[in-house]
Homo-oligomer: A and B are copies of this chain.
């Protein structure tokens, strides 16, 4: 096997793990790594940004490192669209893989748990509703008023609602400010919204593969993920909890998400491993058959879909579409409120949240005289350079957190 093949196979293995139910990018995970525990946070009554009430709200959370006496060493990690609060560590020593950012979160790592109390929270309507390690409230939950699944009667939730649930949890722990908030993709939306909504809380903000708001392009692109679910006859306007779920539509959505999050380079390396060719005999002779690359994409999506809820995906799409940092309708003014030092880490070949989105946000902050930094991630993985490839920014993140 050549070095190139070894590299490709390693890369494929990493992304295969990422695409599996247990997200993981850290091949270097040590068996001495930290064990973590999922905890539960409840709110009797929560009012959404749009003014609706959610009763008996519950979300899961986990933490790494120790909260100091002054309670001022907190780093909040906000998770991306298809992730959970499992950012680092393992639940059990024999877990197949640790949390998705384990290579930058831990003792002596970029986000050093010897210094910081690192905490992460499952979002509302978390995609992985059926993962036993996820606790979330969303359309798949039982409405305490009716005893039935919410379905589409669950109120629309926003990135701000994810932030407000996190804030309530932090306050319950006696925490009043964040050394930093750090998130990738949909997590970056929460991170920057934190910095605009609660500027006195947030001292540092890191937006990885992120944006300042969802522009018309992004909102249309995100709608593409919702459409196949709504077309699936089993979706039944979201009321499928006592019947077969819309698995085909959910699988299609995950296929689209996977391609949007990667690149031609990655797909063509995968194709090479599959012995893909344009003129494959199956699809040439039968309109019902598919190319090897399509079968590969579909089988991984089917595997991931098992722990996910289709309505939850629709609600996360909507939260992401509604995102504008500050949630005021005036991004410029919202950014002018930011007190945090900020760092933007877009990926140069990101086809999902293209680098111009982070550039625009960082430039607007700079125009308001804010302390803002911008550096581009590299790698063959497009959007996922910010997840699988985050270790390249370890020194940058470490120095930013230490004010070096």
Segment at the interface with B among A9-17, A79-87, A115-123, A271-279:
A271-279
Q: Is A88 an interface residue (CB 8 A)?
A: no
Give CA–CA (A152, B288) in the complex, Å: 8
User: Which of A49, A248, A321 has the most B CB atoms < 10 Å from its CB?
Assistant: A321
Give CA–CA (A278, B215) in the complex, Å: 7
Give CA–CA (A321, B289) in the complex, Å: 12
Q: Is A68 an interface residue (CB 8 A)?
A: no
Q: Is A365 an interface residue (CB 8 A)?
A: no
Q: Is A185 an interface residue (CB 8 A)?
A: no
Specify how many copies of this chain sit in the oligomer: 2
**Contact assessment for B318 and A216 in the assembled complex, using a CB-CB cutoff below 8 Å:** no
**Contact assessment for A220 and B278 in the assembled complex, using a CB-CB cutoff below 8 Å:** no
Q: What are the interface flags for A323-365 relative to B under an 8 Å C-beta threshold, 1 for contact and 0 otherwise?
A: 1100101000000000000000000000100101000000000
In whole Å, how far is A310's beta carbon from the nearest beta carbon of chain B? Answer: 12
User: Which of A213, A216, A217 has the most B CB atoms < 10 Å from its CB?
Assistant: A216
B-contacting residues, A250-283, CB 8 Å: 252, 255-256, 259, 263-264, 267-268, 270-272, 274, 276-280, 283
Tell me which residues across on chain B come within 8 A of A286, comparing CB atoms. 156
Segment at the interface with B among A21-29, A224-232, A388-396:
A224-232
**Contact assessment for B219 and A284 in the assembled complex, using a CB-CB cutoff below 8 Å:** no
Q: Is A249 an interface residue (CB 8 A)?
A: yes
Tell me which residues across on chain B come within 8 A of A267, comparing CB atoms. 215-217, 220
Known: A264-B215, A268-B215. A256 touches B293 (CB 8 A): no
In whole Å, how far is A307's beta carbon from the nearest beta carbon of chain B? Answer: 21
**Contact assessment for A224 and B283 in the assembled complex, using a CB-CB cutoff below 8 Å:** no
Tell me which residues across on chain B come within 8 A of A356, comparing CB atoms. 264
Q: Is A233 an interface residue (CB 8 A)?
A: yes
**Contact assessment for B314 and A270 in the assembled complex, using a CB-CB cutoff below 8 Å:** no
Q: Is A110 an interface residue (CB 8 A)?
A: no
**Contact assessment for B231 and A284 in the assembled complex, using a CB-CB cutoff below 8 Å:** no
Q: Is A221 an interface residue (CB 8 A)?
A: yes
Give CA–CA (A103, B78) in the complex, Å: 52
Tell me which residues across on chain B come within 8 A of A214, comparing CB atoms. 278
User: Which of A152, A268, A278 has the most B CB atoms < 10 Å from its CB?
Assistant: A278
Known: A270-B216, A287-B318, A291-B219. A277 touches B329 (CB 8 A): yes
15 A/B residue pairs, CB under 8 Å, sorted by A: A158-B284, A215-B267, A215-B268, A217-B259, A219-B291, A220-B255, A223-B294, A224-B224, A228-B228, A228-B252, A231-B231, A277-B329, A279-B322, A279-B327, A287-B315
Q: Which residues of A contact B (CB under 8 A)?
A: 49-50, 152, 154, 156, 158, 213-221, 223-224, 227-228, 231-233, 238, 248-249, 252, 255-256, 259, 263-264, 267-268, 270-272, 274, 276-280, 283-288, 290-291, 293-294, 297, 314-315, 318, 321-324, 327, 329, 351, 354, 356
